[in-house]
Amino acid sequence: MRDLSFLYMVTSSIHRLTRVEEVLRFLVNEVTRALNAEIGIVYTLDTASKRLLPVVSRGLRKGEDEKLAVKVDDSAVGRAFEEGRIINAVVGESDFHPTLDGMEVNSLLCVPVKGRKNILGVLELCRLHPLKFSLDEERLVTVAAGQAAIAMENIQNLEELEKTVRELKAVDELKNNLLANVSHELRTPITIAKGALELAMDEKNVKKRNGLLKMAVNALVRQNFIVGDLIEAANLERSKSELKMEEVNLVQLITLVSDEFKPMLIKDKIKMKISIENCLPPVRADNKQLKHVLRNLISNAIKFNKEGGEIIIEARERGNMVEVCVSDTGIGIPEDRLDKIFERFYQVDSSPSRRYGGTGLGLAIVKETVEAHGGRITVESKLGKGSRFCFTLPAARKEE
């Protein structure tokens, strides 16, 4: 009877409590009082230190609980957790291993808090007088430990749910930013081309008119580049068989692509150095796709650089691969974003107020292309100091 009324009182009160600590505190208070114990503690496992730490307690001296960190293999609490069994012992019995120094505990009861899959913690009750806890009392504490388990698991579920909601919100924000960013990226060249063409229509001076027409063409080329990236990204699972493999001379390719960026380098006062190992073997690659990879890495190295910064392009042989690295002295990438930047549409700053343009597709396409060639891409970066992207490609073997 005592079990049932206690259970009823506990469950009906728990309904009104929302935080796990409140539930556990309520349980410890009630059960300690009901059993005339002086001390009640709920421990949970701290996975990092592999120790049981008290989450709530009653009857401890101030600051006492801070000193309590129970080794899982030590003491009655540790064994109740490790072995998943109730330990009920008074001073003098072999199971009597109290955790509290200097508190003159003479009777203890440790009940594992069993979750659906594993043991979540231990509920410990201590008495100063050597009166052993009865079987009835053991059962009562087991009921309380069951309630504690439900509260702990519910809060775990709630935390997981909150995490999922946070992730979904981030995806939603990404989607909204993406729509805004892509529309902005597509509209900018249209605005430039439209303005240049309108001016060209009224321009009598042939040289000036040609300049305006060139401006319109460049804007449309840029737009074509963006649309090309969007189409590629929609269809990223490109198979190796779609690549038109040939022997590519990297010295020629790097020189050709880096020359395309000269006007941008001059505008941003950025120096570019090229360092290619002597006798570098050609690589087996799709020439067009490889150009796209280099263009993307170089254009990022310029875009995220600082005025007066530097870019180094290096190429060297590494075993049966050739490694190409593009380093810059730009803004760098936070360490926790390094693996994210290769995801489609990911941008370290994708907010509407962001400083750098782009769709967040370039690196996803670069990674996919390099891997389709049988290579790998890596990145190292120091925030505020710069980034270094390196990719490998199979060297073309001599007999081929």
Q: Footprint of ligand ADP on this chain (CB under 6 A)?
A: 296, 300-301, 304, 328, 330-333, 341, 346-348, 358-364, 387
Nearer to ligand ADP, 183 or 320 (CB): 183
CB of residue 252 to ligand ADP, shortest distance in Å: 24
- Alpha carbon of residue 285 to chain centroid: 33
DSSP output for 231-283: HHHHT----GGGS-EEEE-HHHHHHHHHHHTHHHHHHTT-EEEEEE-TTPPPE
Closest residue to ligand ADP: CB criterion: 358
Nearer to ligand ADP, 332 or 394 (CB): 332
Helix (H) or strand (E) holding 382: strand 377-382
Give the number of residues written for the chain: 400
Tell me the sheet residues that pair with 113.
121
**Type of residue numbered 232:** E
CB of residue 385 to ligand ADP, shortest distance in Å: 10
- Alpha carbon of residue 142 to chain centroid: 39
DSSP 395: B
CB of residue 273 to ligand ADP, shortest distance in Å: 16
CB of residue 368 to ligand ADP, shortest distance in Å: 11
CB of residue 334 to ligand ADP, shortest distance in Å: 9
Nearer to ligand ADP, 45 or 226 (CB): 226
Nearer to ligand ADP, 131 or 179 (CB): 179
261-266, long-range: CB < 8 A, 24+ apart = 261/298, 261/299, 261/302, 264/299, 264/302, 265/302, 265/311
Nearer to ligand ADP, 44 or 347 (CB): 347
Closest to 323 (Cα-Cα) out of 256, 364, 276 = 276
Residue 66 has φ and ψ, to the nearest 5°, of -65, -25
d(C-alpha 40, C-alpha 125), whole Å: 4
Tell me the sheet residues that pair with 244.
none
Residues in contact with 74: Cβ distance below 8 Å, sequence separation at least 6, in sequence order: 97, 99
Nearer to ligand ADP, 108 or 301 (CB): 301
CB of residue 330 to ligand ADP, shortest distance in Å: 5
CB of residue 297 to ligand ADP, shortest distance in Å: 7
Nearer to ligand ADP, 358 or 375 (CB): 358
